[in-house]
Amino acid sequence: MDPVASYHDPERPAPGARPWVLVNMVASVDGATAVDGRSGPLGGDADRSLLGILRGLADVVLVGAGTVRAEGYGPPRTPPTPVAERRTARNQAPRPRLAVMSGRLDLDPAAPLFTGGDPSDPPPLVYTTSAARAERLAALAGVAEVVVADGERVEPTWLLADLHARGAGTVVCEGGPGLNGQLARAGLVDEWCVTVSPRLVGGGAGLLAGPPVTSPLPLRLAHVLAEDGFLFCRWLAG
């Protein structure tokens, strides 16, 4: 099967006044999402290739600040040619925009995330709260577009409504588990793309962190692809 077609051909209609939300994560066979705080040891060449394919779907790549720090995030890159051609056909920008949820704004303004992007791209979006310290707001003001929510918490529903108002039709969320949990508990995830890595880790956190969902969320298996011992599973909500 053509993996680009498998992920890019399905339609993803915006569900109301928010974008379609796709969560993309890798987990070991026993459910761990990181080794020593990073997801990299769980991946492989096939998984990294799929990451580029899935990011190529997105108008916005959404990630939590903890994951940004742990993984050393950089700016989204130009996707491979077959994906880039599909983005052009869909009238998407050459590269997705990055959005970071950070309640404390504990982010380094000199990090590649903020300094290594294409000059023609808009700066990353950083969603924070009115409780964030003024000096941190000032430090990021020149390298990011900081969006401040009222109150002490960034509500996922509010964040997605803001992205929708900016024209985002598809959001790819790359976690971590805390952000995944917030989205899942609010019923805001439409698609789960989970890579099952042929590794056993033990003692690791799962795909969702925080309080459990009120009741198990039903998912419908759309496809499973396999390569190099990895399983690439795509589930749809409901």
Question: Burial, 121: exposed, middle or buried (Cβ in 10 Å; 0-12, 13-18, 19+)?
Answer: middle
The DSSP code sequence of 186-208 is TT---EEEEEEES----S---S-
User: Could you give the CA distance from residue 60 to residue 63 in angstroms, rounded to a whole number?
Assistant: 10
Using left for φ > 0, alpha for ψ between -120 and 50, and beta otherwise, residue 211 falls in beta
DSSP string, 46-89: HHHHHHHHHHTT-SEEEEEHHHHHHHT--PPPPPPHHHHHHHHH
Sequence-ordered list of residues with C-beta below 8 angstroms from that of 169, at least 6 positions apart, any chain: 12, 14, 19, 20, 59
Instruction: Kindly report, residue by residue over 211-238, the tens digit of the pLDDT.
Output: 988 889 999 999 999 999 999 999 999 8
pLDDT tier at 38, thresholds 50, 70, 90 = confident
DSSP state of 123: P
Domains in the chain: ranges and CATH: 51-197 (3.40.430.10)
pTM of the model: 0.95
Q: Would the CA dihedral through 206, 210, 211, 217 be positive or negative?
A: negative
The answer on pLDDT for 204 being more than 70 is no
- For the cut 80, the answer to whether the pLDDT of residue 203 exceeds it is no
Read off the pLDDT of residues 96-130 as tens digits, 9 standing for 90 and up: 999 999 988 999 999 999 999 999 999 999 999 99
Residue 179 parent element (H or E): helix 177-185
The total of other beta-carbon atoms located within 10 Å of residue 164's CB is: 17
pLDDT tens track for 158-184:
999 999 999 999 999 999 999 999 999
CA 75 to chain centroid? 13
- Centre a 10 Å sphere on the Cβ of residue 213 and count the other Cβ atoms it contains: 13
For residues 156 and 80, what is the distance between their CA atoms, to the nearest angstrom? Answer: 30
